[in-house]
Amino acid sequence: MEKLVFIIGGNLGNRFSLIKSAKIMMEEVFGPTIAASSVYETEAWGGKSSADYLNQVLVFQSSFDPFKVLEIIQGIENRLERKRAIKWGDRTMDIDLLFYGNLCLETENLVIPHPFIARRRFVLEPLNEVMPEFIHPKEKIEIRQLLANCKDASKVSTFKKSPELPG
């Protein structure tokens, strides 16, 4: 069993309802979440989106191989009416596999860990909430240190606190 770490989110439709639906669909396949961050509202990253996103980090355990995981999450995105018209454009749901345990993998269709983690505050804030001491397998430093070093100044704020977290 490997620890699978995802970030899910979108900026079209009922964003919060779509986050809840994606989480339910993922739990149907991967089992219960080990951890779930709060839901964050974030400025669009990459410059081609027209509205703010809601994002959440989810952590699961699974024995599916990474390529099967990719197939599953793309199927969930499609069920939630994801359109792939413009890279980094508006979308109902985007599910990115951030980490697959400590695996480092680079293929044409799948790169693990996700290559932009260290540069995206909207990823690092929720990651830091659920696993601040996790050591990035390529960067070789903890998530909290990646966040402290992050130059991305985009706005990231809590939209809905996770009931799974203390406080």
Tell me the per-residue pLDDT of 48-78, one tens digit each, with 9 for 90 and over: 667 889 999 999 999 999 999 999 999 999 8
Q: Which residues pair with 156 in a beta bridge?
A: 42
- Average pLDDT of the residues of the chain: 90
Is residue 149 classed exposed, middle or buried when 0-12, 13-18 and 19+ CB atoms within 10 A define those classes? exposed
For residue 80 the two structure tokens come to 């939630």
Side chain identity at residue 94, one-letter code: D
Q: Distance between CA atoms of 57 and 50, rounded to whole angstroms?
A: 22
Element (H, E) at 41: strand 39-42
| pLDDT, position 118 | 94
Least confident of 45-49, 55-59, 144-148: 45-49
pLDDT tens track for 103-125: 999 999 999 999 999 999 999 99
Q: Of 84-88, 95-99, 134-138, where does mean pLDDT reach its minimum? A: 84-88
- What is the 8-class DSSP label of residue 86? S
What CATH superfamily is the domain 2-160?
A: 7,8-Dihydro-6-hydroxymethylpterin-pyrophosphokinase HPPK (3.30.70.560)
Is the peptide bond between 113 and the residue preceding it cis, with omega within 30 degrees of 0? yes
> What average pLDDT does the segment 91-108 reach?
94
